Amino acid sequence: MSSLADRLRAAGRGAARWETGLAIVVLAVIIGGSAASPQFLTGSNVFDMGLSNGEIAIMTLPMTLVVISGEIDLSVASMLGMSSALLGVLWSHGWPMPAIFVAVAALGLAAGALNGLLVTRLRLPSLAVTIGTLALYRGIATILLGPTTVANFPTAYTNLGVNGVPGTNGDVTYSTLIFVVLAIGFGVVLHATPFGRSIYAMGASAEAAQFAGIRVKRIKTVLYMISGLICALAGVLYTFRLNTSVENNGLGLELDVVAIVLLAGVSIFGGKGSMIGVVLAVLVFAGIQNALLLTNFNQEATGIVTGALLLASVFVPNAARWIRHLTRPRTQKA
């Protein structure tokens, strides 16, 4: 029986190539960012980076599991928005914060469960289902809040969004801390538990996994529920960071989340990818966005870079394969 460390090491080896490339890109971003602006590596900038990407980063973790299992969840940003809206509505109705957290978590789980049941029990394509729930959950957020904005959250909570974690010189945001802790947890579960291995198995072939005795439907439903729960958490963080609950919170973030996960080398067809890759891809994404911001690049247009990275993430491995194919000596002839 191999130890946990062994299995993690094996996972690291298996996924080494793409992650090595990403690590080099991370280094390049750090060097390029520092060259572009002396501010890049300062503590306060690291703080800003964590602040503006924290929720997106957190949402990439459950998305990774869902995509590796062979499905997709496009409703993540809407679940964030819906959670944020519920938080605002309940607070304006005078609920105590702990009760609100329970309600928001329950809503996230329920939203994820609906996604999961539609995908697994009704055998509907997840792409179509989660485009539907993207609209539905955003619609529920809009119904809950209407045109109102809730912004009078207690400072004890909103401070969490704008202050650093004590003991880090104030350079690390709470969302960054949560991301790191969750990433380690998700990484261990994905790479070193039977549950995690079964996610790869069903992503590679749902049918084979089914015959191997893996409860594909149940596990996929659980993954969607985890996604809902984590997005609810991201919704709470988002709300406190901006001290605002408004119906369009987090609108459109699902594309960023998917882009990061694909950039991480996770196959859109399922069965491939690693948590280390996702963490590196988050760093690449956050670093480039931030470097462009510091160099006064039009902030709204940073999507160009995200898009280019996405294209690179699909073409570079292909190009490598072509080159290998072309340079291979053709000794064997069938």
Partner 1 sequence: MRAVITSGRDPRPPGDSGGGSAGAGNLAERVFRIRESGILVVLVVFVAVTTLAQPRFLSEANIQFILVDTTVFALLALGETMVVISRNVDLSVGSVLGLSAYASSNLFGHHAGIPIPVVFLVGLAIGLVCGVANGVMVAAGRVPSLVVTLATLYIIRGIDILMFSGQQVVEAVLPNAFLAIPKSTVLGVPDLAIAVAAVIVVGDYYLRNYRSARELYAIGSNPEAARLAGIPVGRRIFTAFALSGAIAGIAGVLWAAQYGTIDSSAGTGYELQVVSAVVVGGVAIFGGSGSVVGAALGALLLGTITTALYVLGISPFWDQAIWGALLLLAITLDQTITERLTSALRQRRTRHV
Least CB distance from residue 7 to partner 1, whole Å? 30
Nearer to partner 1, 39 or 210 (CB): 210
Q: Among 220, 249, 219, which Cα is nearest to 104's?
A: 249
50: Cβ contacts below 8 Å, ≥ 6 apart: 172, 173, 175, 176, 286
Q: Which residues of 108-128 are buried (b: 16+ CB within 10 A; e: fewer)?
A: bbebbebbbbbbbeeeeebee
Nearer to partner 1, 298 or 327 (CB): 298
How many Å apart are CA 166 and CA 198, to the nearest integer?
39
Least CB distance from residue 298 to partner 1, whole Å? 6
Least CB distance from residue 132 to partner 1, whole Å? 4
Least CB distance from residue 238 to partner 1, whole Å? 19
Least CB distance from residue 292 to partner 1, whole Å? 11
Least CB distance from residue 156 to partner 1, whole Å? 31
Nearer to partner 1, 173 or 306 (CB): 306
Nearer to partner 1, 99 or 311 (CB): 311
How many Å apart are CA 277 and CA 265, to the nearest integer?
7
One DSSP character per residue, 94-153 reads T--HHHHHHHHHHHHHHHHHHHHHHHHTS---HHHHHHHHHHHHHHHHHHHHTT--B---
At 104, the amino acid letter reads: V
How many Å apart are CA 176 and CA 198, to the nearest integer?
29
Nearer to partner 1, 258 or 286 (CB): 258
Residue with tokens 């590679």: 204
Nearer to partner 1, 4 or 314 (CB): 314
Nearer to partner 1, 38 or 146 (CB): 146
44: Cβ contacts below 8 Å, ≥ 6 apart: 171
Q: Which residues are near partner 1 by CB under 8 A?
A: 118, 122-125, 127-129, 131-140, 142-143, 146-147, 247, 252, 255, 258-259, 262, 268-269, 298, 300-308, 310-311, 313-315, 318
237: Cβ contacts below 8 Å, ≥ 6 apart: 54, 55, 58, 160, 161, 174, 175, 178
Least CB distance from residue 23 to partner 1, whole Å? 22
The residues pairing with 164 across neighbouring beta strands, listed in sequence order, are: 173
How many Å apart are CA 237 and CA 182, to the nearest integer?
14
Least CB distance from residue 142 to partner 1, whole Å? 5
Angle between helix 76-92 and helix 253-263 axes, rounded to 10 deg: 140
Least CB distance from residue 314 to partner 1, whole Å? 4
219: Cβ contacts below 8 Å, ≥ 6 apart: 69, 195, 198, 199, 202
At 160, the amino acid letter reads: L
Nearer to partner 1, 167 or 207 (CB): 207
Nearer to partner 1, 138 or 241 (CB): 138
Q: Among 135, 130, 138, which Cα is nearest to 249's?
A: 138
